[in-house]
Amino acid sequence: MQTEGAPAPSSLPGGPKPSHPFFSLKPVRLLIRFGMLAILDAFSLLFIWTLIANGRYPLAAFVFVITVGVNIAFLVEKAYPFRWFAPGLALMILMLVYPTAYTLYVAFTNYGDGNLLTRVQVIDQIESRTFAPEGATEYSWTAFRSNSDPDEYVLWIQTEGESFLAEVGEELTTLDNASSAIRGSLDASGIPTDVPGFTRLAPNQIFAILDALTEITFGEEPNTVTVDSVRVARRLEQRYLFDSVADTFTDQRTGVVYTPVQGTFTADDGSTLSPGYWVPVGGENFRRLFRSPSLRGPFIRVLIWTFAFAVFSVLLTFSVGLFFAMVFDHPNMPAKNVLRSLVLIPYALPAFITANIWRGMFLPQFGVISTTLENLFGSSPLWLADPTWAKVGILIIQTWLGFPYMMIICTGALQSLPSDIFEAATIDGAGPLRKFWNLTLPLLLVSVGPLLIASFAFNFNNFTLIDIYAEGGPPIVGTLTPAGHTDILITYVFRLAFSGGRGADFGYASAITMVIFLILATITALQFRFTRIWEEISENV
Amino acid sequence: MSSLQAATPLKYRLRNQLDVGWRVLVALLALAFALGPVLLIVSASLDPRDSMVSQTVIPENADFSNYSDLLTSEIHPYGRWLLNTLKISIITAGLTVLICSISAYAFSRFRFKGRRGLLLTVFLVQVFPNALTMVATFLLIQAVGLFIPSLGLNSHGGLILVYLGGAMGINTWLMKGYFDSVPRSLDESARIDGATDWQIYWRIILPVVKPILTVVALLSFIGAYSDFLIPQIVLQDTDQFTLAVGLSLFIRNGDYSKAWGIFSAGALIGAIPIVTLYMFLQNFLVGGLTAGAVKG
């Protein structure tokens, strides 16, 4: 970026970019540019390195491509315009294009609880598991407690002719290698009385901490020791040996061989080693979506309600908004502008506030709507807990939230309708209703149609209202997924991925996201096809 | 039909009185529907009994105790949430304007290969909001946090990063359209005077296009302020929450019948910044500038 702040030299006719009379600013500018680019590159490389170390290869690749792009923009003179797009495009690619591509990828994997880690992480974890083999050498042991941390211990273990000092995370220390303080303090049984920084525990102190001691693995892999009983400690061995050629784990205790099946090492009898890692599973998530009876049911329900909610939202807000717009649109109407401003308030308030207010009003026993209905009719529907009434409640709120916007749009559109065709219609003997259906409405739809489609697309993903009203509830009974009767696709995805209480299922959630993408793409294509938006945009380029 | 009556007043003059009469009635109904819930909240926020039960239209012994309770609440750090939200929204709005105006200037003033394709791509990408890819966004912010914790999970920086990712798109388009309307003779004369592109952008164009910068700033401020989904994905600690996430806690945790008054006070205070901004925006609403502001 060219950040030098030199005042523009006085006008020099003829030369568009006059050079400075005494010295050129160009080298300084270049230096600043290269310097900043170098800092950015160093930063990016560190980031990429961190990502690779954590196994996030696709993201590392994206960051690399973005960095290369930025470098080209700032180094190649022909790419000059792209310097101006660098910040916006880099952010767009990183935060919008990458997540979209990644969602598509995750939709074909089993990423989720039980398969959260990468393959490398899982193999590491399973390899670090140990066991105490039958018939392994038994050691007698003595515990020492740290003087600084009461939960830290070291172990002195010994058997015929062999003794070690075992510390957590350290290699076992043989007697020969032990410090002179230790070697000099051996008692009659060959146990040191003095380990620097630690205090030897008497046998009667052992019982209180035995449970804690058995949990600790002493030593460093693969030579580890664990306390088995009051008297016995055992050397541990690696439990599962990984064969990288056959890609299997073998249980050293039982001899059972585990082969990976969809990211989980599985034995012939079906038993598995957890955790699993995440792997591509092909169209499995989509198959579950459309075929599995326990998942298809809630998905289809959610899908239908999503469309119903979006369609009814547009219909209700538009008809109420249009009705009020026509009522207000009269030359002799008093205080027109004040009224319009006041009616606009529901639209001006943030939805997260108004949705909460309405939720409060709909609450059973306390809410003003419920209590009023009870006073009038003796009972009130369960607005939040009944599947049908919850939907009605949402549509009431949505009408309230959205009609002012429609009213504003319709007011503008009504005022721009040509009046001569209405005069002609009156002369031809058309009544008010006929004129409305045959003239006002069709003409209006031409101008507000695109906005209605935009409103549909918006409500298709109206997370705020649905989630605040009843968090998608009431729940659909008897399903494997956390679906609710008022859930729309986007809230369903949210629950699957983040707040299911039945575990995260990123793969399945991403598959549903792809369905949303498809639907939105279709809506947009229709919008372009039946309106002139695309032509306008293409011409405006 | 109404415009028709306006066009031929003679024939309808007598019916006009009646006509206006029912219109006023309907208008009052509309007003009651629109403002009822708002008035209810105003009344509840002034009701010291702090309970939904037996709430009356005009509260007895009205006072501001709910407001003082709200700002001193130990359970819900409302003041902090409000500050968090304002901070996030202001930074998002400022950076969005900067990033998008730089791009819009280049789209408007430079001619280069790939310009058309890039413009259309930017337009198409915004069809898919980043709220949709919440799973990938969550994992992405988690990964960024490995390297820079202040841009990772549970950070306001991470949240702003997500918002800036969605900043291009419609904003750049709105701005580019406006920049196009600024006559190029303005740049030309500056260029003859020896101004660089950056100087033309910063000193000549930006001051002229303030209206569109204001619109984009307001829209992105309102967008960040009102967002309910992404903060839930990125933020984890109560202290870090934005108002949108925090306010819902008042009446979600079972004690809603008791916290109703405090909630109402919080709802009203939280609405003030947005309602104020909408007053500014109203002039642009009908003009269609706010195609990206669809809400209902």
DSSP classification of residue A344: T
Number of domains present in the structure of chain B: 2
With CB atoms and an 8 Å threshold, state whether A458 touches B294: yes
With CB atoms and an 8 Å threshold, state whether B128 touches A88: no
Question: Are B98 and B58 within one domain?
Answer: no
Q: Domain A26-106 falls in which CATH fold?
A: Methane Monooxygenase Hydroxylase; Chain G, domain 1 (1.20.58)
Q: pLDDT of A162-183, one tens digit each?
A: 788 888 878 778 877 777 777 7
Question: Are B227 and B116 within one domain?
Answer: yes
Rounded distance, CA A85 to CA B168, Å? 10
pLDDT confidence band for A310 (50 / 70 / 90): very high
User: For residue A488, which amino acid is it?
Assistant: I
Question: Are B28 and B60 within one domain?
Answer: yes
Query: Does B285 lie at the interface with A, CB-CB under 8 angstroms?
Result: yes
User: For residue B258, which amino acid is it?
Assistant: K
Question: Are B88 and B61 within one domain?
Answer: no
Residues of chain B below pLDDT 70? 1-14, 50-57, 253-258, 282-296
Residues 6+ apart with CB under 8 A from A169: A220
To the nearest 10°, the Cα dihedral for A28, A34, A38, A41? Answer: 140
Chain A residues touching residue B100 (CB < 8 angstroms): 88
Q: Is residue B109 part of a domain?
A: yes
Angle of helix B256-285 relative to helix B65-72, nearest 10 degrees, comes to: 90
With CB atoms and an 8 Å threshold, state whether A317 touches B244: no
Query: Does B200 lie at the interface with A, CB-CB under 8 angstroms?
Result: no
Question: Which of B3, B8, B130, B289 is the mutation pick for testing A, counting most A CBs within 10 A?
Answer: B3
Rounded distance, CA B281 to CA B174, Å? 15
Query: Does A43 lie at the interface with B, CB-CB under 8 angstroms?
Result: no
Q: Is residue B286 part of a domain?
A: no
pLDDT confidence band for A12 (50 / 70 / 90): very low
Pick the CATH number of A130-238 from 1.10.238.10, 3.40.640.10, 2.40.430.10, 1.10.645.10: 2.40.430.10
Q: Is the pTM of this model over 0.95?
A: no
The CATH number covering residue B192 comes to 1.10.3720.10
pLDDT at residue A501 above 70? no
Of A92, A358, A419, the CB nearest to B165: A92
Higher per-residue pLDDT: A323 or A415? A323
Nearest alpha-carbon partner for A157 in A143, A136, A147? A143
Q: Is residue B285 part of a domain?
A: no
pLDDT at residue A384 above 80? yes
Question: Are B133 and B201 within one domain?
Answer: yes
Question: Are B46 and B155 within one domain?
Answer: no
Q: pLDDT of A200-223, one tens digit each?
A: 888 778 787 888 888 888 887 767
**Confidence (pLDDT) at B281:** 73
Q: Is residue B284 part of a domain?
A: no
By residue count, chain B amounts to: 296
CATH architecture of structural domain A293-540: Orthogonal Bundle (1.10)
Residue where a domain terminates, one of B49, B69, B89: B69
**Confidence (pLDDT) at A353:** 92
Please count the CA atoms within 13 angstroms of the CA of A19 that sit on its side-chain side. Answer: 7
Identify the domain containing residue B90 by its residue range: 77-250
With CB atoms and an 8 Å threshold, state whether B131 touches A490: yes
Q: Is residue B287 part of a domain?
A: no
Question: Are B89 and B154 within one domain?
Answer: yes
**Confidence (pLDDT) at B45:** 86
With CB atoms and an 8 Å threshold, state whether B294 touches A400: no
Question: Are B154 and B214 within one domain?
Answer: yes
Residue where a domain terminates, one of B210, B229, B250: B250
Question: In chain A, helix, strand, coil percent, each to 5?
Answer: 55, 15, 30
With CB atoms and an 8 Å threshold, state whether A334 touches B190: no
Chain A residues touching residue B226 (CB < 8 angstroms): 350-352, 464
pLDDT at residue A137 above 70? yes
* Complete DSSP assignment for B76-97: S-HHHHHHHHHHHHHHHHHHHH
Nearest residue of B to residue A59 by CA position? B140
Chain A residues touching residue B110 (CB < 8 angstroms): 80-81, 84
Rounded distance, CA A250 to CA A238, Å? 10
Question: Are B39 and B89 within one domain?
Answer: no
pLDDT at residue A54 above 60? yes
Q: Is the peptide bond before A432 cis (omega within 30 degrees of 0)?
A: no
Of A339, A360, A436, the CB nearest to B1: A436
Q: Identify the three-state secondary structure at position A444.
A: helix
With CB atoms and an 8 Å threshold, state whether B248 touches A352: yes
Residues 341-370 in A contacting B (C-alpha not used; CB under 8 Å)? 341-354, 356-361, 363, 365-368
Q: Is residue B229 part of a domain?
A: yes
Q: pLDDT of A392-418, one tens digit each?
A: 999 999 999 999 989 988 988 888 888
Rounded distance, CA B222 to CA B85, Å? 10
A293-540 matches A26-106 in CATH topology: no
pLDDT at residue A72 above 90? yes
Chain B residues touching residue A350 (CB < 8 angstroms): 222, 225-226, 244, 270-271, 274
Question: Are B44 and B138 within one domain?
Answer: no
Question: Are B99 and B214 within one domain?
Answer: yes
Closest chain A C-alpha to B233 CA, distance in angstroms: 8
Query: Does A452 lie at the interface with B, CB-CB under 8 angstroms?
Result: no
Nearest alpha-carbon partner for B44 in B58, B27, B34, B30? B58
Question: Are B215 and B155 within one domain?
Answer: yes
B292 with B174: CB under 8 angstroms? yes
Rounded distance, CA B158 to CA B233, Å? 10
* Complete DSSP assignment for chain B: -HHHHHH-HHHHHHHHHHHHHHHHHHHHHHHHHHHHHHHHHHHHHH-TT--STT--SS-TT--SHHHHHHHH-SSS-HHHHHHHHHHHHHHHHHHHHHHHHHHHHHHHH---TTHHHHHHHHHHHTTS-TTTTHHHHHHHHHHHHHH-GGGSTT-HHHHHHHHHHTTTTHHHHHHHHHHHTS-THHHHHHHHTT--HHHIIIIIIHHHTHHHHHHHHHHHHHHHHH--SHHHHH--SGGG--HHHHHHHHTTSS-HHHHHHHHHHHHHHHHHHHHHHHHHHHHHHTTTTTGGG---
DSSP classification of residue A322: H
Q: pLDDT of A214-266, one tens digit each?
A: 888 888 776 788 887 777 887 777 888 888 888 888 888 788 888 888 888 88
Q: pLDDT of A418-459, one tens digit each?
A: 888 888 888 888 888 888 888 888 888 888 887 888 889 889
Average pLDDT, chain A: 83
A141 with A233: CB under 8 angstroms? yes
Query: Does A30 lie at the interface with B, CB-CB under 8 angstroms?
Result: no
Residue where a domain terminates, one of B45, B69, B93: B69
**Confidence (pLDDT) at B46:** 86
With CB atoms and an 8 Å threshold, state whether A349 touches B257: no
Question: Which of A46, A102, A344, A356 is the mutation pick for testing B, counting most B CBs within 10 A?
Answer: A356
Q: For chain A, give every domain's residue range.
A: 26-106, 130-238, 293-540
**Confidence (pLDDT) at A213:** 81
Query: Does B10 lie at the interface with A, CB-CB under 8 angstroms?
Result: no
**Confidence (pLDDT) at B57:** 66
